[in-house]
Structure 1
Amino acid sequence: MFNGSLIGPGFPNQLIQKDTHLFVVLDELWAEQQNHPIVYNYYYVSHALKYFYLSSKIPENQFNTTKEYFLTDFYNYQHSMSQQLNKLQKGMYYTYPYMDFFSHQKVITIKSPVYSNNEIVGDIGVDIPVKSLIKSITLPKKLKSSLNFYLYNINKNQKIEIYDGYSSHLLPPIPVHTHLNKQTLIFADISPWFFVSFAIKITILCISLLIIINYMNVVLKRHKFQKQRYQLEAYTDLLTGLFNRRVMDTIIKDIVTENNNKSQPTAIIIFDANDFKIINDTYGHNIGDLALKHISSTINDMTRDSDICIRLGGDEFCIVLPNANLEQALVMADRLELAIFSGYFCHYNIKISISTGCTVIEKNETLHNALVRADKILYRNKKNKAENKKALQRQLNNYIFKSPPKFPKEE
């Protein structure tokens, strides 16, 4: 221990050893980078026990390692708990160049928060001095001597020099840049004289760089597409292609909250298939699946792009209609019932009908309560349909099977 900090490889006391198992990893990294030309400073900061474990080539007497570090604004600004959530969700992030509190050098830090019980208890990271970045650029000497490297902060309109390879005011330099993050650009100013004298070599190099960048871009797009596909699959019902129940706690919840804040209505239509079990038992589950696909395709054809169509499970479906009132929902429900019953969906020439329940989510009402209310309306409508069907059947039976009328005999 050195004024509340651990410097370099060593054996911390038992209390700190119980705090984390990262010391062994840091010491192995420290040993590995001894022969590396770039001076990396690996470290772990414990926010809980307030200590700083550092593995570095720089002698310990060059570090201002006091316990007062944990009371400084620098500490409060640098730890992960002060960072934006989208940065932390990526698992690691890197900072804009800043003056290090300990080594008094301008560094870029790559950090990753350390969690315990879903809370950030520390940060593990590596400090890379800005001046040493140029050592990692392995280019021919002639090309290196024709380059200027610097970082540019878009928000602060600030330029940080990394390397000056040439200085010439006869011809303006050719700038090449890429985004380090949303706020930071890394620039490489190339001397035009180099293109004149080594046009062929530069062309080959640029083509190689473009191939690498294009390859990286293709890989990133592929990963992005795969991520989007996995997310879509997680929220999609495989049989019908509609959303599944998972959207209730994410997309739907956000839409309802936004509409409530804007005092705009959000209507819900819940419906299920009538006598769906009879179709499955009579014709088989394959025909039952065709019936569900017929219902889902009809829904897709008749709803707006802003409407969210969901298969709740089995033969139960739900449609969320943003900016729609109860009257509009009832009209949509009637149209759906008619359209679904009007079409045949398999070679047996059978039809399927649905029963619906409509409601509007009230202000400050939970989505769950609105769904329960719509569900009750659905089953009340279904019960009324069944009773009306039975009454009609009785009337038909009385008409068909009643005794023929008797006429008086002729004398």
Structure 2
Amino acid sequence: MYLKPLFKTILNSKHNIQWVYYTSAKKFLYLAPTNKIFKKEFLTNIYKKEFWTEAIPSNNPGIELILTKLYDDAAGKGYLTTLSLPIMNNEKFMGVLSIDIGLKTLNSMMEKDDLVGSIYLVNQDNEILASNKEFEINSVLKRGNSTFELSIFDDTIKLVYIENIEEKIITILKTSIFQILLLIFILFIIYMLCYLLILNKKVENLANKDSLTSLLNRRAMRIESKKLLSIANRYNHFTSLLLLDIDFFKDVNDTYGHHIGDLTIKEIAKILSRNSRESDLISRYGGEEFLIMLSNSNKESAYTLAERIRKEISLISIENTDLKITVSIGCTEYKKKESLDSFIKRADLLLYKAKDQGRNQTVKA
């Protein structure tokens, strides 16, 4: 699992990080460093916890880093606070990456005899997370007349100093600057680890998607198609293929320019996405060629879909043009144990047959 190296790095950081885990939107939990399987009752309870409920997009539309209130860990790790970051893939919510930090870590950085005044680390609800003074768990900070604040992570966390004499503010900064910077550094490292995980997913997404339409590119389509055909062979599922090509597309570019050509391709991509299921695979397979692999669909249902798509494309209206866009489609059904190349070649021959017969039609076999 690609999360293991990241989780191992965080756990080995020696900053009293108690738990690192990934909670999936698909109802499973990966807890580092174990591969433990959790009971259904335990998972049901997990999805009610603050680290999940406050981080999910419905409660966190900005997809921001969330810091929970202090709580007593049920597994005996003491009082913890949790940093949670929603993980998105192509605007789809995948799950939540969470890191539990012990209260001892936060307090040990502030409980120094040479600190002057009162220092508090508070969350966005002004609840105290750590201090050089005694405090009750989840108590709210009451600010004094003289207050100095340092915002961390866009007000997710604040470092607050309270003192009545302005000169002592300078003293506290001088005597505790190392502890403050160390605390900020630890939080920054955790934030960067989460950011790198997201960046890795974005790079992976860019490598698999066509830049103009956001559909699967040719390379990604072949990889995912082989997986789908493997399932079809194993469970005897019907699988069908539609290969579409825009009629006279060169004339579109030559007459109206590549800008209109790109708009045409985008509009067709929208129609294909709108008429397909989540289980189907859609790709821009070539310049003006699209491929759709339909899971659990026989040739007849695939033909019905192809005709619906073809008719809808013929109604496309491109801005400032009188273009009439049509497509030719080859439609065929998978033969068990057939190779992907053979499957696509049969659809390609049917596509060219549709071209030879006058275009703007679907030919099935």
Counterpart residue identity of residue 369, structure 1 = S
- What does residue 335 of structure 1 align with? 308
- What does residue 195 of structure 2 align with? 222
The one-character-per-residue Cα deviations of 1:36-57 (angstroms, maximum 9, x if unpaired) are xxxxxxxxxxxxxxxxxxxxxx
Quick one: structure 1 residues 153 and 186, their matched pair in 2 at CA, closer, same or farther if it must change by over 3 Å?
Answer: farther
- What does residue 344 of structure 2 align with? 371
Aligned residue for 1:241, secondary structure, equals coil
Unaligned runs of 5+ in 2: 19-31, 37-75, 83-99, 120-129, 134-156, 160-179
Aligned residue for 1:303, secondary structure, equals coil
Quick one: structure 1 residues 216 and 93, their matched pair in 2 at CA, closer, same or farther if it must change by over 3 Å?
Answer: closer
Decide whether the 8 Å contact of 2:233 with 2:336 is kept in 1.
yes
Pairwise mapping of residues 84-163 of structure 1 onto structure 2 (< 5 A)? none
- What is the CA-CA distance between 1:186 and the residue it aligns to? 10
The one-character-per-residue Cα deviations of 1:263-303 (angstroms, maximum 9, x if unpaired) are 21221110101111122222222222222112112112222
| 293, 308, 330: which one aligns with 2:266 | 293
- What does residue 319 of structure 2 align with? 346
Larger radius of gyration: 1
Aligned residue for 2:314, secondary structure, equals helix
User: How many angstroms apart in 2 are the aligned matches of 1:196 and 1:230?
Assistant: 43
1:360 aligns with 2:333: yes
Quick one: structure 1 residues 317 and 203, their matched pair in 2 at CA, closer, same or farther if it must change by over 3 Å?
Answer: same
Quick one: structure 1 residues 214 and 173, their matched pair in 2 at CA, closer, same or farther if it must change by over 3 Å?
Answer: closer
- What does residue 131 of structure 2 align with? 203
Higher RCO by CA contacts (8 Å cutoff, separation 6 or greater): 2
Aligned residue for 2:358, secondary structure, equals helix
Quick one: structure 1 residues 249 and 200, their matched pair in 2 at CA, closer, same or farther if it must change by over 3 Å?
Answer: farther
- What does residue 299 of structure 2 align with? 326
The one-character-per-residue Cα deviations of 1:170-217 (angstroms, maximum 9, x if unpaired) are xx9936599xxxxxx998989x9xx99999675259976875554334
Aligned residue for 1:362, secondary structure, equals coil
Decide whether the 8 Å contact of 2:245 with 2:288 is kept in 1.
yes
Pairwise mapping of residues 10-409 of structure 1 onto structure 2 (< 5 A)? 174=78, 203=131, 211-212=184-185, 214-385=187-358
The runs of at least 4 aligned residues of structure 1 exceeding 4 Å deviation read: 85-88, 90-94, 152-156, 175-178, 185-190, 195-202, 204-214
Counterpart residue identity of residue 250, structure 2 = K
User: How many angstroms apart in 1 are the aligned matches of 2:339 and 2:274?
Assistant: 29
Aligned residue for 1:385, secondary structure, equals coil
The one-character-per-residue Cα deviations of 1:311-355 (angstroms, maximum 9, x if unpaired) are 011111111111111111101100011000012123112111000
Identity over aligned pairs, percent? 30
TM-score under structure 1 normalisation? 0.47
The one-character-per-residue Cα deviations of 1:89-116 (angstroms, maximum 9, x if unpaired) are x59978x9xxxxxxxxxxx9xxxxxxxx
User: How many angstroms apart in 1 are the aligned matches of 2:360 and 2:221?
Assistant: 33
The one-character-per-residue Cα deviations of 1:55-101 (angstroms, maximum 9, x if unpaired) are xxxxxxxxxxxxxxxxxxxxxxxxxxxxxx8599x59978x9xxxxx
User: How many angstroms apart in 2 are the aligned matches of 1:233 and 1:176?
Assistant: 37
Counterpart residue identity of residue 347, structure 2 = A
Unaligned runs of 5+ in 1: 1-84, 97-107, 109-132, 138-146, 157-171, 179-184, 389-411
- What is the CA-CA distance between 1:220 and the residue it aligns to? 2.2
Counterpart residue identity of residue 327, structure 1 = E
- What is the CA-CA distance between 1:218 and the residue it aligns to? 2.5
Bigger fraction of residues in helix: 1
